[in-house]
Amino acid sequence: MQSNREKTSCSCGHTHPPHPSGERKDVPVVEIQGAKLAFNGVPVLRGVDLRIPAGEIVALIGPNGSGKTTLLRAMLGLQKLDAGSVQLFGQPVSGPGLGKVGYVPQRLPLERTFPLTVREFLALRLKETRFWFFQTKKHTTDLILAAIVDMGVEPLLDKPVASLSGGQLQRVLIAFSLLHQPKLLLLDEPTAGVDTPGEQSFYEMITRVQQQRHLTVVLVSHDLSMVYRHASWVYALNGVICCEGTPEQVMNAESLKQAYGIHVSPYHHHHHAH
Ligand code: ADP
């Protein structure tokens, strides 16, 4: 996928400076400056800068414990920082910009006895959405149908939410978050536990939805092959942004080594996921 950004060459081996101001004049969807955070004295974010323009599919990659989920949570104002700032749509994260964000966490532990069907679960959002936007019933129903169709969850409507597979639940949760027509979608490891064909169709679906709805998507992923094929911009995180750029720029052996600290095979167009 093409990035809207000017292509910058990735000088791996160095912490990258924030994007030079003026690279893109629009207000960024997300802007993080100097994010620092330690848990019990152990630094997790050590000065993270990033700037995400509208209309991208941005991947956050990095080893376990490198702070990816923490950074997503900071983007939502769920995780307070020790230092630094987070802005959404040019405003502090606690502001109205949060209403334009959809978030699907990595795990949503559900009791097997969770009593709602997919249809009923989505209807919870229907009520809230109607109230929020004062929409006509027809318009709201259209919104729901569009989200259901976009995420391919129509065949699941009458199944109990608790009976869904991990991949099915992720798609329902994304449909749920699309109902309030977000501009920014944050996905934390959306395909964890999904097999390779499932992953491929999931990423195709997300790419289609992103384009049709003019969304900006930020996703955490361990699947470097999917990131290579579908992301427009990649941040490799390991406490700091070790490397950023297009997948072609970032996903080479040298920069992956910077992020992961070990040799990780780079991915190329002709490689297939295994
Ligand atoms: P990643 O998503 O890259 O795997 P996380 O952001 O989940 O990494 O976690 C980064 C580090 O911060 C981990 O070592 C994790 O144990 C720690 N951590 C995350 N949240 C908390 C918390 N609320 N309290 C204490 N430690 C935490």
Please tell me the least confidently modeled range out of 175-184, 198-207, 260-269.
Answer: 260-269
Query: 38 alpha carbon to ligand 1 midpoint, in Å?
Result: 9
Report how far ligand 1's centroid is from the alpha carbon of 39 (Å).
8
Q: Answer yes or no: are the C-beta atoms of 37 and 13 closer than 8 Å.
A: no
Evaluate if residue 25 carries a pLDDT over 80.
no
Structure tokens at 105: 């966490």
- 31: CA distance to ligand 1 center in Å? 21
| Beta partners for residue 245, in sequence order | 234
> Which of 44-48, 199-203, 250-254 is modeled with the greatest confidence?
44-48
Q: Which residue has the tokens 């072609």?
A: 248
Q: b/e map of 117-152 (b: 16 or more CB within 10 Å)?
A: bbbebbeebbeebbeeeeeeeeebeebbebbbebbe
> Which range among 2-11, 22-31, 165-174, 237-246 shows the weakest confidence by mean pLDDT?
2-11
Terminal Cα distance for the chain, rounded: 21
* Chain centroid to CA 167: 16
Mean pLDDT of the chain: 82
pLDDT at 4: 61
R_g of the chain computed on alpha carbons: 19
Residue minimizing CA distance to atom 11 of ligand 1: 65
Find out whether 174 and 151 touch, Cβ atoms under 8 Å. yes
- Per-residue pLDDT band for 56 (boundaries 50, 70, 90) equals very high
Strand order in the sheet with 216-220: 101-104, 184-188, 216-220, 57-61, 233-237, 241-245
pLDDT tens track for 82-116: 999 999 999 998 877 788 999 988 777 777 778 88
Kindly give the number of the ligand 1 atom that is closest to the alpha carbon of 106. 2
Lookup: tokens for 261 = 């600290």
Q: Which DSSP helix (H) or strand (E) runs through 37?
A: strand 30-39
By alpha-carbon position, which residue is closest to atom 13 of ligand 1?
65
All residues at 6 or more sequence positions from 7 whose CB lies less than 8 Å from its CB, including other chains: 245, 246, 249
Q: Whose CA is nearest to atom 1 of ligand 1?
A: 65
Residues with CB under 6 A from ligand 1: 39, 44, 62, 64-70
Q: How far is the CA of 13 from the centre of ligand 1 (A)?
A: 24
The owner of tokens 């750029």 is: 245
Confidence of residue 11 (pLDDT cuts 50, 70, 90): very low
What stretch of H or E contains 138? helix 137-150
Tell me how far the alpha carbon of residue 124 lies from the centroid of ligand 1, in angstroms: 31
Domain 8-258 listed as CATH 3.20.20.370: no
Work out which ligand 1 atom sits closest to the CA atom of 237. 3
- pLDDT (0 to 100) of residue 264: 63
In angstroms, the CA 169 to CA 163 distance is 9
pLDDT exceeds cutoff 70 at 257: yes
CA separation for the pair 247, 45 (Å, rounded) = 23
Residue nearest to atom 18 of ligand 1 (CA): 39
Task: Provide the whole-model pTM.
Answer: 0.84
Percent residues over pLDDT 70 in the chain: 80
Q: What is the pLDDT of residue 34?
A: 97
Whether residue 118 contacts residue 161, with contact meaning beta carbons closer than 8 Å, is answered with yes
Ligand 1: distance of its center to the CA of 68 in Å?
8
Cα 207-254-14 angle, rounded to 5 deg: 95
The answer to whether residues 40 and 213 touch, using CB atoms and an 8 Å cutoff, is no
